[in-house]
Amino acid sequence: METVLINIKNFAKKNFVTVIAFFAAVITSAVIPPDPQYVGYFDFKTLTCLFCVLAVVCALKNINFFYVLAEKIVEYFKNARLCILALVYITFIGSMLIANDMALLTFLPLGYFVLSASRKRKYMAFTFVMQNIAANLGGMLTPFGNPQNLYLYTKFNIPVGEFLLIMAPPFCLSVTLITVCCFAVVKNEPMRFEEEKLSLPPKRTALYLALFILAIAIVFRGIPYQAGLIIIPAVLIFADRKALVSVDYPLLLTFVFFFIFAGNMARIDAVRDFFSMLLKRDTLIYSVLSCQFISNVPSAILLSQFTENYRELLVGVNIGGVGTLISSLASLITFREYTKHHPHAVWYYLKVFTAFNFGFLIVLTAFMCAVRAIGG
Q: Which domain holds residue 181?
A: 2-31+64-189+248-375
Q: Is residue 109 part of a domain?
A: yes
Q: Is residue 169 part of a domain?
A: yes
Task: List phi, psi (to 5°) of 2.
Answer: -65, -40
User: How many other C-beta atoms lie within 10 A of the C-beta of residue 184?
Assistant: 8
141-173: pLDDT as tens digits: 888 778 889 889 988 999 989 999 999 999 999
Give all strands (DSSP E) within 113-254, no chain letters.
none
Q: Is residue 41 part of a domain?
A: no
17-76: pLDDT as tens digits: 788 888 888 999 998 999 998 888 887 887 888 788 888 888 988 898 877 776 676 677
What pLDDT shows up at residue 51?
87
* Separation between Cα atoms, residue 148 and residue 368, nearest integer Å: 19
Q: Is residue 46 part of a domain?
A: no
pLDDT tier at 261 (50, 70, 90 boundaries)?
confident
Q: Is residue 216 part of a domain?
A: no
Choice between 298 and 234, residue whose per-residue pLDDT is larger: 234
Q: Is residue 42 part of a domain?
A: no
Q: Is residue 43 part of a domain?
A: no
CB under 8 A, 24+ apart: contacts of 335-340: 336/14, 337/104, 337/108, 337/109, 337/112, 337/128, 338/124, 338/125, 338/128
* 115-119, 157-161, 172-176, 320-324: range with lowest mean pLDDT: 115-119
Domain count along the chain: 1
* Separation between Cα atoms, residue 290 and residue 350, nearest integer Å: 21
Task: List phi, psi (to 5°) of 352.
Answer: -65, -45
* Separation between Cα atoms, residue 52 and residue 16, nearest integer Å: 23
* Separation between Cα atoms, residue 375 and residue 112, nearest integer Å: 43
Q: Is residue 49 part of a domain?
A: no
Residue range 205-216: mean pLDDT, rounded: 89
72-82: pLDDT as tens digits: 766 777 788 99
For the CA atoms of 233, 239, 242, 244, what is the dihedral angle to 10 degrees? -10
Helix, strand or coil for residue 83? helix
Task: List phi, psi (to 5°) of 194.
Answer: -85, 125
